[in-house]
Amino acid sequence: MILIVGGAGYIGSHANKLLTQKGFETVVYDNLSRGHRDFVKWGDFCEGDLLNMQQIRSCFESYRVEAVMHFSAFCLVEESVQQPEKYYLNNVMGTLNLLQIMREFGVKHFIFSSTCATYGFPEKIPISEDHPQLPINPYGQTKLIIEQVLKDYDRAYGLKYINLRYFNAAGADPEGEIGERHHPETHLLPLVISAAMGLKPEIKIFGTDYPTRDGTCIRDYIHVIDLADAHIQALQYLVNQNQSDSFNLGNGTGHSVREVIETVRKIGKRDFKVVETGRREGDPPVLISSSRKAMETLKWKPQYEDLETIIETAWNWHKKRLSL
């Protein structure tokens, strides 16, 4: 049985669907603070909080957990700067609690949702796993702290883990059962889609004076199904090799904010208002992954390489959701 912590959220719910399709038994653990009960369509469900040891323990008592995938975290950079305590409690303390219960129950395999935000401002593009990790905000810092904790727990307790450092997750389940639904929404792609569907009056571009080809930030958008797939490859690697490691997950291609907006315009065949505003604090100009290591070691290969196809899946999910 695979325990999916945060399995009611965006990436965790896609991992749950894929794991189930591949024949794994799953149980989701989620406090539903940011996740959605209706995203838990597969496997069992334990409602609980990572700050409540008894709730975590009771889930481990009810299910024979063999491995844990940990998606549950607050992940908004700006919020983490304004409310760091919330981030250290949830992302650090919550994870320490989870690791403690795993130890109590002798569970040794852990797949951790880490992030390119652990690298901070890139010194070199594309970013590979050996790039210095110098986070520039509390969100990235909380993720890096857990990466360091995991290294020590491996040495002391034999916990085997994989850190998966995501770049920009995007897109939705192509069958339209689940997708990206955040409250409040702060991510570029769902906001552009909302503007194109007339649900928001405009989309704001945060910064047009970056040293990039069109002045806007460049990001590496990776489809959520490809991220989910990497978790399964990582699990197989842990089971076969019993060796801890870290991998970047991105497509290796960068797209600017303007390119994302233009692609949505093309797919939606609708015009909408675009407002150019100042930079958002803490945004590096360019983030592009080198995912060669994941491809070579995990035999992972993204299926959705083209931005238009990625955005199409997101567009279709929002369209379906709104017509319900």
Check if the beta carbon of residue 290 is closer than 8 Å to that of residue 127: yes
Residues between 165 and 194 that touch ligand UDP (CB under 6 A): 168, 186-188, 191
Q: How many CB atoms neighbour CB 321 within 10 A?
A: 13
Check if the beta carbon of residue 117 is closer than 8 Å to that of residue 127: no
- The CA-atom distances, in angstroms, between 189 and each of 72, 92, 195, 213, 257 are 21, 28, 10, 20, 9
Helix, strand and coil percent figures for the chain, each rounded to 5: 40, 20, 40
Q: Does 82 bind ligand UDP (CB under 6 A)?
A: no
Q: Which is nearer to ligand UDP, 150 or 189 (CB)?
A: 189
Interface residue with ligand UDP, options 36, 204, 293, 320 (CB under 6 A): 204
Q: Which is nearer to ligand UDP, 48 or 140 (CB)?
A: 140
Residue 247 C-beta: closest distance to ligand UDP, Å: 18
Q: Which is nearer to ligand UDP, 27 or 73 (CB)?
A: 73
DSSP state of 38: G
What residues form DSSP beta bridges with 165?
114, 248
Q: How many CB atoms neighbour CB 147 within 10 A?
A: 17
What residues form DSSP beta bridges with 26?
2
Residue 283 C-beta: closest distance to ligand UDP, Å: 4
Give the x-and-dash track for 31-70 against ligand UDP (CB under 6 A): ----------------------------------------
Residues between 243 and 272 that touch ligand UDP (CB under 6 A): 257
- Catalytic annotation on 139? yes
Q: Which residue of the set 29, 139, 153, 210 is catalytic?
A: 139
The catalytic site residues sit at 139
The contact set with ligand UDP (CB under 6 A) reads 77, 168, 186-188, 191, 203-206, 217, 219, 257, 280, 283
